[in-house]
Chains A and B, each alone.
Chain A
Amino acid sequence: MKSRFTLRLIVVVAAALLAAACGSGDSPETASPALPPTESPSDASLTATEEPTGAGAAEDGEMSGIDGTTVTLISHDSFALSDETLEAFTEQTGVTVELLEVGDAGTLVAEAILTKDNPLGDVMFGIDNTFLQRGLDAGIFVPYESPALADVPADLQLDPEHRVTPVDYGDVCVNYWKDAVPREPTSLTDLTDADFYDQMVVQNPETSSPGLAFLLATIATFGDGWEQFWMDLRENGLVVTPGWEDAYYGEFIAGGGERSMVVSYASSPPAEVIYADPPTDVAPTGVITDSCYRQIEFAGILAGTDNEAGAQALIDFMLSETWQNDVPLNMFMYPVISSATLPPEFVEHTAVPAAPLMLDPAEIEANRDAWTERWVEIVLR
């Protein structure tokens, strides 16, 4: 199988390069004159991004010939937006979006790589920074630098070659049940304190993306000391679950469990308020902001698409206010553009960490298996 994958990789990379080369050469009149000057340092090396053929297409679908075409968007099963949002895109550009959803984020990336010589769609949304390098290495994306990136903070744009575009982000943080903790926890080291004996629930990083994010948070915090942290955490009474649902609803107090601390999201307290029963004005949970690991979700155009201009228009639209303002209450993630507005619950009931933890995607890819294996040895054996 390895050899077949290598072959596919070569074919796809070659095809991508060819497409990139042709893209810059043909029909310059379709290139939008409204394209802002590019700022990314790596742009000079990538001809395709200098004159993206469909840039600005969101405004003039008819001119670029994408009116009446269809773009297939493939995403994970947490994807959710208002009906009006995708309809607005079709109204603006004449492009119809066909949505396909598959499994969780990990399954999505695995399948995109497995099917890369005959991709399932034109655009993929939902690859995050913990799996990003895997997708980039497999060569499943073609670069596109959206003009709308001008409104996106630079620290969210992890790929200088713009093979992927940041669309939303969230923070994986330790949540605690306010009424059940002996004192308010404020840092990761609190978790190993005797005050919090038998209180913590984590997800297995091998089967859960918040679980993996939390492992990375400890590595980003403690460096080489992460192993000792986990030994101490285990000593302090730790429960490991395979996924988020069984952690949050099985072991954590929220679902009738007995533990007061769990790995979840910074947006979980707002969700607890919005979907409270009976209604409440006070979130029952809080987050340890020092424990937050930033998860950025990206979209990318899949190599092999036959509607690259339509795909580019969709990427542009993902960074529009229409899409971005729709993100928080549907997916419980944060918008990436600075002009987006947050719902009041997201402002009142949670805190956005000033300096969230993050690791370089390439470093994650190089070490992920070794880290998780070591984690299994420390925590489970």
Chain B
Amino acid sequence: MSPSRRRRGAATVAWAVAAAAPLGFLSIFFAYPVLTVVGDGLSGLGELLASAPIRGVLWFTLWQAVASTALTLAVGLPGAAMLARLGPKARRVVRALITVPFVLPTVVVAGAFEAVFDRFGLDSGAVSLHHTVWAILLAHVFFNYAVVVRTVGSWWAGLDGRNADAAAILGATPARAFVHVTWPLLRPAVAAAAAVTFLFSFTSFGVILILGGPTRATVETEIYRYAVTRLDFDTAAALALCQLVAVATMVALAGIAERRRAVARRSAGRTVSRRSRVVIGVNAIVAIALLGVPIATLAERALSTGDGYGWANFAALAQRVPMLPTTAVAALWHSLGFAALATGIAAAVGVLASMVVVGGSARSSAKGARGWGAAWLRRLLDVGLTLPLGVSAVTVGLGMLLALDRPPLEFRTVWWIIPVAHALVGMPFVVRTLVPTLRSIDHRLREVAAVLGAAPLRSRREVDVPIASRAVAVGAAFAFAVSLGEFGATAFLPRRPDTLTAPLALFRLLGTPGESLRGQAMALAVVLMAATALSVLVIEGLRRTDESLF
């Protein structure tokens, strides 16, 4: 065997191992549980689709998700432009701050929104947002703003600004330069952000129920209603199947848009023009109005005590109240521990999977038949890793409960199933930020490294790792935030009281009347937000590389 063949053999083994880990993880903790539930839906599907009310629900689910995505892009893309124009330090802080809405339980956000509507007279009268589709769309923008701004903004900051400069020198107006030069380069990131926003909106639960009012229903709320309230598992399973198919289709479509390669990622030093300052100013106002006002409302509630304002609600978090099996502070530590673990899993699995998804794409096209199977595997992983974001929490939660109930897969009551479930939702963020970044790495950089005498591994380390690490950090920070605020599939998993997490503690505090309990719940929400912002700062600061290098 020639050395080169041996090396290729070793590479194949490495590739297989890299592929096996995420595939195994996804199969055991996602595909198997979901198929256990959805498999029963096939028989009822025809009947379900023939029902006019259900078709209405499907249609509403789809259009509100599309509208939410479009609106979030409309508000978020200028925000991303702002982020790209900020200096590295300010960018890091803003990126951390806008992640905060992610961890807020819907019931708390809804309360804050209603209070804001109330204050600005939007609760009733001619312009009423109370229980309207607009309230739903607004809340979806609130929750997903960070997805667009962070994903696209980080990408944008890494683009080579000299292309647009060149267009300007050649006489293009800024608009023309944007449409013809910047936009095509941005598309992979926009597609990734749009896919995530769409999935979040498609499967949104609390927002629909609380802000949309009792007459609105989506596939997600109907799955819950049929499975839990009606105990009509056939219909629930058929709905879950519909959801799965719709979501998989959307993810695959977004994947096609994302797969376009962008090249020339290298940022030159930027000067902030006057026009940029206007863009930044206008966006700061939008972001503050959108994110700041509801958050400020929460903070005001947290600080208000029986006799004015003070820290009493925060101090009370260290004491155990009877509703909680432990203190709220302990619950916060549990949350942080689970989030760290979930982020570790999501990052490890996500990085391996992204390498597999991207890794061989250049090679496989040249390899014909052998590459064909591998290409399918990559496509499957790519779509499969994003799906957990778009599949109902009821499906995943009940699926885990029913599928993982016997040895050797008896995991339904082990404590680590909770961070694993969190990691499932966090992983898509890692993959969706990392895959387009890996695809965009200019292979000439590696060639340059090779020419300069670097061994393949070394060139990977010197070229790929620094560029990819930023994307991993952005994705991991999302995964961390998602885990801190997660209240989905894990609501269906039986858990020990000593693993109480902060969002659950918050719900319990809100479950009994009493002004001091409510104050504590608001204080806990504020602490949770602060913990999120700090964690994101830490995670994104872990990279030693300076962003301006690439």
Contacts and interface: CB of A to CB of B under 8 A. Distances in A.
A41 interface: no
B502 to A, nearest CB: 14
Interface string B380-403: 000000000000000000100110
Interface stretch (B83-91, B153-161, B251-259, B504-512): B504-512
Nearest to A82: B322
Contact of B492 (A78, A82, A102, A243): A102
B446 to A, nearest CB: 51
A134 to B, nearest CB: 7
Nearest to B413: A100
Nearest to B495: A101
Contact of B514 (A246, A257, A271): A271
B10 to A, nearest CB: 44
B210 interface: yes
A298 to B, nearest CB: 18
B74 to A, nearest CB: 28
Interface residues of B, number: 58
Contact of A329 (B214, B322, B405, B493): B322
A113 B233 CA distance: 11
Interface string A96-119: 001111110011001101110010
A254 B114 CA distance: 14
Contacts of B210: 241-243, 246, 250
Given A113-B231, A245-B510, A275-B517, A240 B492 contact: no
Contacts of A103: 228, 491-492
Contacts of B307: 278
Given A250-B110, A272-B513, A120 B230 contact: no
A113 B114 CA distance: 37
Contact of B494 (A100, A242, A250, A275): A100
A78 B324 CA distance: 9
Given A114-B398, A115-B405, A1 B229 contact: no
B537 interface: no
A204 interface: yes
B497 interface: yes
User: Mostly helix, strand, loop or mixed at chain B's interface?
Assistant: helix
B111 A102 contact: no
B227 A274 contact: no
A181 interface: no
A242 B514 contact: no
B519 interface: yes
Interface residues on A, range: 35 or more
B209 interface: yes
A78 to B, nearest CB: 6
A153 interface: no
Contacts of B107: 243, 245-246
B40 interface: yes
A222 interface: no
Interface in A102-158: 102-103, 106-107, 110-111, 113-115, 118, 120-121, 134
A277 B521 CA distance: 14
A2 B234 contact: yes
A242 B305 CA distance: 28
Contacts of A111: 398, 401, 492, 494
A268 B491 CA distance: 25
B491 A107 contact: yes
A77 interface: yes
B340 to A, nearest CB: 23
Contacts, number: 151
B494 A101 contact: yes
A103 B224 CA distance: 12
Given A114-B233, A254-B513, A380 B215 contact: yes
Contacts of A258: 118
Interface in A175-217: 204, 206-207
B513 A80 contact: no
Contact of B508 (A4, A77, A243, A254): A77
B40 A74 contact: no
Q: Which residue, A80, A244, A264, has most C-beta atoms of chain B within 10 A?
A: A80
Contacts of B213: 240
Contacts of A264: 513
A110 B496 CA distance: 19
Interface in B221-260: 224-225, 227-231, 233-234, 237
Contact of A102 (B215, B234, B402, B493): B493
B518 interface: yes
Given A115-B401, A245-B511, A110 B225 contact: no
Contacts of B402: 114-115
A74 B493 CA distance: 11
A296 to B, nearest CB: 19
A110 B227 contact: yes
A110 B115 CA distance: 35
B462 interface: no
Nearest to A262: B513
Contacts of B225: 206-207
Contacts of A245: 107, 507, 510-511
A341 interface: no
Contacts of A242: 209-210, 214
Given A276-B516, A277-B516, A329-B322, A246 B111 contact: yes
B544 interface: no
B322 A330 contact: yes
A273 to B, nearest CB: 8
B269 interface: no
Contacts of B118: 256, 258
Contact of B497 (A101, A206, A285): A101
Nearest to B113: A250
B306 A277 contact: yes
Contact of A278 (B215, B306, B507): B306
B515 interface: yes
A120 B410 CA distance: 11
A248 interface: yes
B233 A380 contact: no
B359 interface: no
Contacts of A101: 494-497
Given A77-B507, A255-B518, A118 B322 contact: no
A207 B209 contact: yes
A80 B229 contact: no
A74 B322 contact: no
Interface in B309-328: 312, 322-325
B370 interface: no
28 contacts: A1-B40, A1-B233, A1-B237, A77-B504, A78-B508, A80-B322, A80-B325, A102-B493, A103-B492, A107-B492, A110-B231, A111-B492, A114-B233, A114-B398, A120-B494, A134-B231, A207-B229, A254-B513, A254-B515, A255-B111, A258-B118, A271-B513, A272-B515, A275-B517, A276-B514, A277-B306, A277-B312, A379-B214
Interface of B: 40, 43, 107, 110-111, 114-115, 118, 209-210, 213-215, 224-225, 227-231, 233-234, 237, 305-307, 312, 322-325, 398, 401-402, 405-406, 412-413, 491-497, 504, 507-508, 510-519
Interface of A: 1-2, 4-5, 74, 77-78, 80, 82, 98-103, 106-107, 110-111, 113-115, 118, 120-121, 134, 204, 206-207, 240-246, 248-250, 254-258, 264, 268, 271-272, 274-279, 285, 329-330, 332, 369, 379-381
Query: Closest 10 A-B residue pairs measured CB to CB?
Result: A275-B514, A278-B306, A277-B516, A277-B306, A242-B209, A1-B40, A100-B494, A277-B515, A240-B214, A102-B494
Given A114-B402, A245-B107, 20 more contacts: A1-B237, A74-B494, A78-B508, A80-B323, A80-B324, A99-B497, A107-B228, A110-B231, A242-B210, A243-B209, A245-B507, A246-B210, A250-B210, A272-B514, A275-B517, A276-B515, A276-B516, A277-B312, A277-B514, A380-B215
